[in-house]
């Protein structure tokens, strides 16, 4: 007997792609929706979030504002979809932690892989992350939940590495694993967001990534990384 799971996935996927009027778009409609999202992303890359207008997105997509409103009630709604997609793509950061080795002699390599992935991820999604940060600072709970979910998954994964190090006696049990991991994730996110600023200050990215990786490796394993 075949399992019903694939059918459920199709239903859930259709729900996510419902147009603003509640209808499920067909292939052509989905292509239009995706083109509108791509143009919204392009506008966010080159224009301040507050200055992005529906008419400009529609013109860039080769369609009309009326068509845009068939899929999204406003620019904010389209940006929320982009933020959700960004958070989903960020799941690979957690996988680097959970699937990598944190044993002595291997932890630094895993930490470097995590740092490099962070730098690439933040650079690739800079425009959307900037909006998420702005909206979060303004108290928008929808964007805040996306940011919390993205960073919490990474923090929870690193906290488990800290717990394992505590069991091995390398990190004092008085240290709270989530607090230790949270500080490291905040460092990764903030540094990745300002990596070009460090370049301006004369700090090369190669040196920056080494320093970030050392802090992560040492912080979660209690083992001083090799020079």
Write down the architecture of domain 5-73 according to CATH. Answer: Orthogonal Bundle (1.10)
Q: Check pLDDT > 60 for residue 3.
A: no
Q: What is the mean pLDDT of the chain?
A: 88
Which pLDDT value is given to residue 19?
A: 57
**Residue keyed to tokens 């013109």:** 59
- 11 or 108, which is more confident: 108
Mean pLDDT value across residues 54-72:
94
DSSP 123: H
Q: Is the pLDDT reported for residue 2 higher than 60?
A: no
- Asked if 163 contacts 221 with a C-beta cutoff of 8 angstroms, the reply is no
- Same-fold call for 5-73 versus 87-221: no
Decide: 14 and 24 in contact? Cβ < 8 Å. Answer: yes
- Who contacts 198 (Cβ-Cβ below 8 Å, separation ≥6)? 191, 205, 208
- 100 and 114 Cβ atoms separated by less than 8 Å: yes
Question: Structural domain boundaries of the chain?
Answer: 5-73, 87-221
Q: Which of 106-110, 134-138, 202-206 has the highest mean pLDDT?
A: 106-110
Q: What is the pLDDT of residue 22?
A: 56
Which of the pair, 176 or 47, is modelled with greater confidence? 176
Chain-centroid distance, C-alpha 189: 10
Is CATH 1.10.3470 what the domain over 87-221 is classified as, yes or no?
no
> Could you give the angle at the alpha carbon of 149 between the alpha carbons of 114 and 83, nearest 5°?
90
185 pLDDT higher than 50? yes
Count other C-beta atoms under 10 Å from residue 174's C-beta. 6
pTM: 0.81
Q: CA triplet 160, 161, 166: central angle to 5 degrees?
A: 95
Asked whether 17 and 25 are in contact (CB, 8 A), the reply is yes
Q: Encode pLDDT of 14-44 as tens digits.
A: 345 655 555 656 678 789 999 999 999 999 9
């Amino acid at each position: 007997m075949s399992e019903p799971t694939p059918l459920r996935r199709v239903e859930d996927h259709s729900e996510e792609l419902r147009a603003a009027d509640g209808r499920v778009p067909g292939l052509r409609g989905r292509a239009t929706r995706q083109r509108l999202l791509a143009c919204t992303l392009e506008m966010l890359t080159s224009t301040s979030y507050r200055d992005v207008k529906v008419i400009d997105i529609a013109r860039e997509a080769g369609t009309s504002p009326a068509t845009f409103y068939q899929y999204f009630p406003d620019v904010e709604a389209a940006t929320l979809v982009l933020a959700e997609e960004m958070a989903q793509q960020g799941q690979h950061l957690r996988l680097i932690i959970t699937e990598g080795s944190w044993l002595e002699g291997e932890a630094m390599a895993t930490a470097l892989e995590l740092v490099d992935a962070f730098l690439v991820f933040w650079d690739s999604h800079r425009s959307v992350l900037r909006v998420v940060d702005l909206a979060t600072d303004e108290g928008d709970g929808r964007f805040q939940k996306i940011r919390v979910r993205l960073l919490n998954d990474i923090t929870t994964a690193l906290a488990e590495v800290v717990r394992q190090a505590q069991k091995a006696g390398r990190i004092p049990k008085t240290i709270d694993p989530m607090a230790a991991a949270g500080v490291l994730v905040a460092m990764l996110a903030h540094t990745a967001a300002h990596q070009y600023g460090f370049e301006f200050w004369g700090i090369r990215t190669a040196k920056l990534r080494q320093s970030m990786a050392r802090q992560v490796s040492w912080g979660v394993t209690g083992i001083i990384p090799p020079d």
